[in-house]
């Protein structure tokens, strides 16, 4: 009996920048036939170069658009005519859920299944093994094609935009945290105590536990009045140090909004405390 051979999947990668080239290289190393196109970057030797998006997509089982949110619509419009019946167009660009739904609409109008794929960690050093979330009609097919090649794809039971939403919600935390650390260390450098603050931040992050999020949320709401005043003072100090207080001012504004909303709720439930901030649990000085 002749040995059964497994058909090598053909995958098109549109966009051969840092992320696209790393993913394409891993796909080729794992045995896939990779067709690539990038108007600014020539395809490396292990990838079959194409003269455009439609040519790259021609005959592919899966098309991975890894260029940019700005170019995502143009790439889809230029390449959708080359997508064969049954193949999936997967958009891996970081974009809003609304844009992902718009891309899905364009794909559907051409009879092409679409997948919203969110890359959930930096690609350099991980390549194809970077964790991904996928949603939309083509999500299961993306996982079916990429997982045997070494990818880590979690399929969400939701429509296009769901994967993008989770990525961006996570970005609010991670990028916001990073920005706060950068701003605070810049101010500490100007104040002459950067080393002390760096050690303090490291200690706080090291002590984080499963209960940290609950404590942060509860404390922020409970002490929003006092903390708003504290962050107003912090923003003034940063300005005096010559550091634009972008994160400090944003924190002050959020805390002021929370304290105003809490005041309205409290006064509505107990009209006898109108105008009496000392009756509120988040009054200055109370912890």
Q: Domain boundaries in the chain?
A: 10-158, 167-279
Range 101-107, long-range pairs (CB < 8 A, 24+ positions): 101/159, 101/160, 101/161, 102/73, 103/72, 103/73, 103/76, 103/160, 104/136, 104/137, 104/159, 104/160, 104/161, 106/73, 106/76, 106/77, 106/80, 107/76, 107/80
pLDDT for position 270 = 59
Question: What phi and psi values does residue 37 have, to the nearest 5 degrees?
Answer: -150, 135
User: How, if at all, do strands 62-65 and 10-14 pair?
Assistant: parallel
Q: In what order do the strands lie in the sheet with 48-49?
A: 48-49, 33-37, 10-14, 62-65, 88-91, 113-119, 132-135, 153-155
pLDDT for position 279 = 39
Which residues are CB-neighbours of 247 under 8 A, at least 6 positions away? 176, 179, 180, 183, 184
Ranges of the chain whose pLDDT falls below 70: 1-5, 267-287
Contact in structure between 164 and 96 (CB atoms under 8 Å)? yes
The secondary structure element, H or E, covering residue 19 is: helix 18-29
pLDDT for position 6 = 72
Give the architecture-level CATH label for domain 10-158. 3-Layer(aba) Sandwich (3.40)
What CA–CA distances, in Å, run from 90 to 59, 60, 113, 143? 15, 12, 9, 11
pLDDT for position 265 = 80
DSSP 3: P
Q: How many other CB atoms are found less than 10 A from the CB of residue 49?
A: 15
167-279 CATH pick, 1.10.3470, 1.10.1040, 3.40.50, 1.10.1330: 1.10.1040
């Amino acid at each position: 009996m002749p040995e059964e051979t497994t058909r090598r999947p053909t995958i098109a990668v549109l966009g051969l920048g840092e992320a696209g080239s790393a993913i394409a290289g891993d796909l080729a190393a794992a045995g896939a036939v990779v067709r690539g196109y990038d108007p600014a970057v020539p395809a490396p030797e292990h990838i079959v170069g194409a003269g455009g998006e439609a040519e790259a997509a021609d005959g592919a089982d899966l098309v991975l658009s890894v260029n940019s949110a700005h170019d995502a619509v143009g790439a889809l419009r230029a390449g959708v005519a080359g997508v064969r019946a049954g193949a999936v167009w997967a958009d891996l660009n970081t974009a809003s859920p609304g844009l992902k739904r718009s891309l899905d609409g364009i794909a559907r109008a051409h009879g092409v299944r679409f997948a919203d794929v969110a890359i959930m960690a930096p690609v350099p050093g991980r390549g194809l093994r970077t964790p991904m979330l996928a949603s939309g009609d083509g999500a299961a097919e993306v996982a079916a094609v990429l997982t045997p090649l070494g990818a880590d794809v979690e399929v969400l039971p939701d429509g296009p935009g769901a994967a993008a939403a989770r990525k961006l919600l996570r970005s609010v935390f991670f990028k916001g945290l990073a920005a706060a650390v950068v701003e605070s260390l810049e101010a500490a450098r100007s104040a002459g105590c950067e080393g002390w603050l760096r050690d303090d931040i490291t200690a706080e992050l090291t002590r984080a536990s499963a209960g940290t999020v609950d404590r942060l949320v509860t404390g922020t709401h409970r002490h929003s009045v006092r903390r708003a005043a504290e962050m107003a003072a912090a923003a003034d100090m940063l300005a005096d140090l010559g550091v634009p207080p972008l994160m400090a001012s944003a924190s002050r504004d959020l805390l002021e909004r929370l304290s105003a909303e809490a005041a309205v709720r409290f006064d509505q439930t107990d009209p006898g405390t109108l105008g009496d901030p000392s009756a509120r649990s988040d009054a200055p000085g109370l912890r």
